[in-house]
Amino acid sequence: MYERQIELSGHIIDSLALPKTMDIIMDKGGDFDIIKFDVGKRKSDISRAKMMVSAESPDVLDGILDELSVLGVSIAEIKEANLVASPKDKVAPEGFYSTTNYVTHVLYKGNWLLVNNTEMDCMILIDETKGKAYCKPLNDLKKGDKIVVGRDGIKVAPPERVRGKQGGFEFMNSDVSSEKPLLSIAKDIASEIKEVKSKGGKIALVGGPAIVHTGSAKFIAALIREGIIDVVFAGNALATHDIESDQFGTSLGINVETGEIVSHGHTHHMRAINRINKSGSIEAAVKDGTLKSGIMYECVKNNVPYVLAGSIRDDGPLPDVITDITESQAKMRYYCQKIDMCLMVSTMLHSIATGNMLSARVKSICIDINPSTVTKLADRGSAQVMRVVTDIAAFLPVLYECLHEYSFISENLPNILSPQPW
């Protein structure tokens, strides 16, 4: 039998970290013995547990330890991290440690180094010259990079279960359901937005074309204009239909105000792209007067950066769409490391992609009428995301109204409109 001693600490009982640890060990074909268990007696106290995990092969044991790392379980024996040089560009050494999106430390030369740019599914690179640790995507690895291999010298701290009343942002707050009070949820989210902005934090919007299709673009445009949204992630579709709405009053050929089908409206999105191509870019179209309103217009007018990531199915696409997916990923990753909150609205692929780049410290909300969207986001590791299953056409106006209660916008507008540079 192969065995390793592990440790858990924190609110491991009511956060279910301890029973989840036991389940993972047994489900993966291992066994365990509890060596020590200290239970916190008060709400402010933490609990600690030491366990011996055993398995019939080192591969099974390593698989168990990898699964447990997501729960913040650490190896009891304190050893220095094992560093191995990358054999070539974009290739990590075998057995590399794959990161979570939680706060991580690595033991190097007797010091616990905080891993910077935390992101899931990356490698940990040690810069021996600077004495610092970084998350680094596989695609960015260079030959000779010193990469952490194995699980020795790794300490992960997942978000603790929030104690007391914390609105909708209790960690792993609840199951996905559409049967929840919409106004209460909107108030909770508005309160969190206000808190983030009052501290000078930055908020990203990840948006899909349904924002425009449902006639909700005006609320997003207003939030950009009022300084609430600091960066926009989207694809060709949101930008195209937003521009179509400005040019023709339609989205996918449907009048966004009346819901009526417009004659030849199915051609409008291509005509909108053609007009932007004629101007040269979205920014140029704003400057020459072609584009006069909408989400993209407000981004340009208020110096809010946007990343439009392309896909194989795009019409056009617009000249601002980044068709090199590696380039668009890098630009999104840059902003993901600098934001404090993320609003994901009606887009499955872009929401999951962004969630994979976000640290668990970033408060995130996924709003979608499709329950599978918010479920998939959580299943892929973004457990910190608050999940709201609802129609954005009903939700966004309520959220906007909640944000304007107590004159929050008017009182803070001067400060909000003078953000710190990216």
Q: What is the pLDDT of residues 381-394, one digit of tens each?
A: 676 788 899 999 99
Helix, strand and coil in the chain, % to nearest 5: 35, 25, 40
CATH assignment, 167-416: 3.40.50.10690
What is the pLDDT averaged over residues 5-28? 90
CATH assignment, 78-161: 2.40.420.10
Digit-coded pLDDT (tens) for 240-276: 999 999 999 999 999 988 889 999 899 999 999 999 9
Q: Domain locations in the chain? A: 1-76, 78-161, 167-416
pLDDT band, residue 176 (cuts 50/70/90):
low
pLDDT band, residue 411 (cuts 50/70/90):
low
**CATH number of the domain at 1-76, out of 3.30.70.2690, 3.40.50.720, 3.50.30.50, 3.40.50.880?**
3.30.70.2690
Alpha-carbon distance of 304 to 320, in angstroms, equals 14
pLDDT band, residue 375 (cuts 50/70/90):
confident
How would you class 225 by CB atoms within 10 Å of its CB: exposed for 0-12, middle for 13-18, buried for 19 or more?
A: middle
Digit-coded pLDDT (tens) for 199-227: 999 999 999 999 999 999 999 999 999 99
How many of the other CB atoms lie within 10 Å of CB of 228? 23
How would you class 108 by CB atoms within 10 Å of its CB: exposed for 0-12, middle for 13-18, buried for 19 or more?
A: buried
In the predicted structure, residue 289 carries a pLDDT above the cut 80: yes
Reported pTM: 0.83
How would you class 421 by CB atoms within 10 Å of its CB: exposed for 0-12, middle for 13-18, buried for 19 or more?
A: exposed
Give the chain's mean pLDDT: 89
